[in-house]
Amino acid sequence: MTTKTIISADRLSKSFGAVKALQDISFEVAEGEIFGFIGPDGAGKTTLFRIITTLMLPDEGKVTVLGLDCVKGFRELRKNIGYMPGRFSLYMDLTVEENLNFYATVFGTTVKENYDLIADIYSHIEPFRKRPAGKLSGGMKQKLALSCALIHKPALLVLDEPTTGVDAVSRAEFWEMLKKLRKHNITILVSTPYMDEAMQCDRVALIQEGKILSVDQPGKITAGFSRKLFSIKAPEKYQLITALREFPLVNTAYPFGDSVHVTFRDDVYDDSLIGFLEAKGVSGVIIAETRAGIEDRFLELMEKK
């Protein structure tokens, strides 16, 4: 199957004064993909998206989006990109309906024309169409912003941290909606600071301090985790971590939900650990081997750097 390349970035760099926001970023996104950028705040995700959406110029390197150069072809490109910035870019004093109609007209279309595209999403908020956007909940704002970004049937949808500040149920719903958009052949570029959301993407790029650590399918990224991983639990989590990091045979110890993910030197688990922890005052310890997630791989890649 030959697929079209929608985004092709080649050695992108961008600095703000002394801060290097992006360093030598290269990647490609194929048509119809949900491509995720995963990384902590300040990793450079927003800067990268702004360059792709023609809002910023790269210092070095070149991006081609939908066959157009981001710098020279920005006028043509702006007609075909749907962009949802991190702050939902809605007019809080306008109603749901007014926001949608405004964006539709600005992009030279009508709500009617592309209603089928947003029907799934918009139907959730349609009962509140007379309500000012500012009075909607976070999840509803997100759905409205997505409807506004989609209303002109863009070939590429760019979503900058769409799930930040939204409750867990809405987040899950949101990913379901994105997956349904695939049947309309819309390519989606999405960023998130939540590692668990990486599994929802077709491919992800791990990004940290302006550099891409790895690009692959989420399953392959976790498979790249090279060591044996143990999940260790104890009632006193903070003491547990401090004690673990003092144990000479421990390689890494990172908090993960209610447990601590630990790797050992040479991947050898030594029973003397329990005694060591008890001596440090940590009791009730449960140890089990576990499978690595995206976050573990992310941390491993960071360690290697």
Partner 1 sequence: MKRLLVFVKKEFLHIFRDFRTMVILFLIPGALILLFGFVVSTDLKNATVSFLDLSKDEMTQKLSDKICSSGFFKRGENLKSFQDIDPALRGNKIKAVIIFEKDFSAKLISEGKATVNIITDGSEPNMATMATNYISAIVADFNSELAGGGKAAALRVQPEVRMFYNPSLKSQHMFVPGVITLIMILICALMTSITITREKEFGTMEALLVSPLKPIQIILGKIVPYFILSLVDVIIILLLSRYVFDLPVKGSVVLLLAEAMLYILMSLSLGILISTVSKTMQQAIFISLVGMMLPTVLLSGFIYPIENMPKAYDWVSAIMPPRYFIIIIKNVMIKGTGFLYVWKETLILTLFTLGAIGLSMRKFNIRLQ
Minimum CB–partner distance for residue 187 and partner 1 (Å):
16
The site for partner 1, by CB under 8 A, has a size of 32
Q: Judged by CB under 8 A, which stretch of 27-35, 59-67, 80-88, 188-196 contacts partner 1?
A: 80-88
Minimum CB–partner distance for residue 155 and partner 1 (Å):
14
Footprint on residues 262-281 left by partner 1 (CB under 8 A):
none
Minimum CB–partner distance for residue 282 and partner 1 (Å):
46
Minimum CB–partner distance for residue 201 and partner 1 (Å):
22
CA 210 to chain centre: 15
Among 14, 45, 50, 141, binds partner 1 (CB under 8 A): 50
Nearest by Cα to 144 from 175, 123, 160, 116: 123
Q: Does 102 bind partner 1 (CB under 8 A)?
A: yes
Among 30, 91, 182, 233, binds partner 1 (CB under 8 A): 91
- Count of other CB atoms within 10 angstroms of residue 138: 14
Q: Judged by CB under 8 A, which stretch of 27-35, 50-58, 218-226, 272-280 contacts partner 1?
A: 50-58
Q: Does 130 bind partner 1 (CB under 8 A)?
A: no
Q: Judged by CB under 8 A, which stretch of 92-100, 162-170, 173-181, 199-207 contacts partner 1?
A: 92-100
Among 13, 15, 26, 89, binds partner 1 (CB under 8 A): 89
- Count of other CB atoms within 10 angstroms of residue 217: 13
Minimum CB–partner distance for residue 279 and partner 1 (Å):
54
Q: Does 105 bind partner 1 (CB under 8 A)?
A: yes
Q: What is the CA radius of gyration of the chain?
A: 22
What is d(CA 162, CA 85) in angstroms, rounded to the nearest whole number? 8
Nearest by Cα to 34 from 211, 159, 173, 210: 159
Among 36, 39, 85, 210, binds partner 1 (CB under 8 A): 85
Cβ distance 30 to 215 under 8 Å?
A: no
Q: Does 83 bind partner 1 (CB under 8 A)?
A: yes
- Residue 162 or 218: the one with the smaller Cβ distance to partner 1 is 162
Q: Does 55 bind partner 1 (CB under 8 A)?
A: yes
Which residues of this chain interact with partner 1, rule CB under 8 A?
50, 53-57, 74-75, 78-79, 81, 83, 85-94, 98, 101-103, 105-108, 148-149
